[in-house]
Structure 1
Amino acid sequence: MEIVEVFSSIQGEGRYVGCRQVFVRLAGCNLACDYCDTPASRQAAMEGRVEATPGGRDFFAVANPLAADALAGYVNSLLRAPHHSVSLTGGEPLCQAEELAELAPKLAGRLYLETNGTMPDELAVVLPYIDIVSMDIKLPSTSGREWWGEHERFLRLAAGRDVFVKVVLTAATGDDEFRRALTLVAAVDRRIPVVLQPVSPVNNVAGIAPEAALRLMAAALEMVDDVRVIPQTHKMMGQL
């Protein structure tokens, strides 16, 4: 597998914010969103890095690609300390779906998939092994195109798991695209939690005004049952 890094830290986004996780950041992505804060993970590198002790930040280099057995060994070594789950993140981890399906049964913890929600066929390959799905809905204003069909297929598949949807809010977020995103969630199941994430300042992407976030939250609560506004808290804490 093509990896970027493996480490123990605190989940900073979404419904499980604050939980201790082992993060497996995989290389490769099918998108290039304006607000991407891990651009280095879009492409595979000759080497990745692995933390030796949980939270020690004592990284050592490993050559890519990395065999699934070796990667599982590194992850399971970190899991000897108590963790909530293993976050499979990126980039877009489903770019390596077949490899993930080989890796997943070898991991000792619950599996938490962080995904852009645009690859439903690949999700079907790994979903039998996944416990929690953190699915983004990518709005056209920041992703550059519409993904409504892919998102709907993806969410209908993921609805059989513990799933929540995350929508990043920027100054460019439009009312029409936002309402379409919430309508999509409601059409699958209005009980699915939705996390609205005000963008962190990056790549000159302007943040959403506080009053605009409140207005969008009010609109969302008319369509789905559980809406929360949660920024990227790991950045506030200085965590990876």
Structure 2
Amino acid sequence: MPQLPVTEIFSSIQGEGPYVGVRQIFLRLPKCNLRCPYCDTPTALSQYMRMETDPGSGAFERKKNPIPLDSLSEMLRSYDFSIHHSLSITGGEPLLWSKDLAYLLPLLKDKNIKIYLETNGTLPEQLLEILPWVDIISMDIKLPFANQTFWNVHETFLRHSLHKEVFVKIVVNEDTSIDQLQNVRDLILRVDPSIQTILQPVTPTGVIKAPKSLQLIQWQSFLLRELSMVRVIPQTHVFMGQL
């Protein structure tokens, strides 16, 4: 039986992007192929995962990793999806586990569970392995860091994503440049200028500072000259003290 390591499963409120405020079940998977300087999410593979015992309670129990996929399917199917909008598959980078997800996700579809994928948008071939079972794609567009750029792979990923509902998020900080945003705008224009675009001011960590309000207004105006839907939405779960 295939097995999948899990970081945690819990019920909470979506805190980012256009679905801010909806209730979701979160399936967080370990490991990531990037090391974003502002990341505050644990990605290490652990011997144990934690699962919320009562949805929304904040009380957890531990289970040993990895978990057989049939058992994981039963855990997820046991949640009440009449009050949860969707299952958010997040990480880390969940597409590192695409082959396991390609086994798991079909087991959930007979319950009409909507699948919401949160991804850094750098693994387009892995996306194709699970695309038939995904409903909504929340794709990051990563601005360059540590001498790494992602424009080409992001464009390929975004083109694959057009078969589903997709929006993009760009985490911006005080040092974000207009040249970087020009590259973002050009990338989206080449694919589809109607794709919803979210400017997400970084939650400050260490030396990384959030942009000033005037910067956000100016950047939004710049993007709106060519793109049809650009919104500024911070990480609202941080304000609410939610996971």
Residue 79 of structure 1 deviates from its aligned partner by 3.0
- Which residue number corresponds to residue 104 of structure 2? 103
1:72-97 per-position Cα deviation (integer Å, ceiling 9, x unaligned): 12212223552100000000000101
Letter in 1 for 2:138: S
- Tell me the amino acid that sits aligned with residue 85 of structure 1: S
> Is there any run of 5+ residues in structure 2 with no aligned partner, and where?
none
Decide whether aligned partners of structure 1 residues 76 and 144 sit closer, same or farther in structure 2, where only a CA change above 3 A counts.
farther
The aligned counterpart of 1:19 is 22
- Give the TM-score normalised by structure 1: 0.96
Judge conservation of contact 1:12–1:232 (CA < 8 Å) in 2: yes
1:32 aligns with 2:29: no
- Which residue does 2:125 correspond to in 1? 121
Counterpart for residue 59 of structure 1:
60
Which deviations, in whole Å up to 9, do the C-alpha atoms of 1:15-50 show, x marking residues without a partner? 111010000000010000011010x22x21111101
Identity percentage over the alignment? Answer: 44
Equivalent position of 2:230 in the other structure:
227
Alpha-carbon RMSD: 1.1
The offset of 1:204, in angstroms, is 2.7
- Shift of the alpha carbon at 1:9? 0.3
Q: SS state of the match for residue 3, structure 1?
A: coil
Question: Which residue identity lines up with residue 133 of structure 2 in the other structure?
Answer: Y
Aligned residues between the structures = 237
Whole-Å separation in 1 of the counterparts to 2:201 and 2:226 = 19
Query: SS in structure 2 opposite 1:6?
Result: strand
Question: Mapping of 1:79-158 within 5 angstroms?
Answer: 79-80=80-81, 82-107=83-108, 108=111, 109-141=113-145, 144-158=147-161
Deviation beyond 6 Å, 4+ runs, structure 1: none
| One-letter code aligned to 2:75 | Y
Q: Determine the structure 2 residue equivalent to 1:175.
A: 178
Structure 1 residue 144 displacement after superposition: 4.4
Q: Is the 8 A contact 1:112 1:133 kept in 2?
A: yes
Structure 2: distance between partners of 1:80 and 1:153: 33
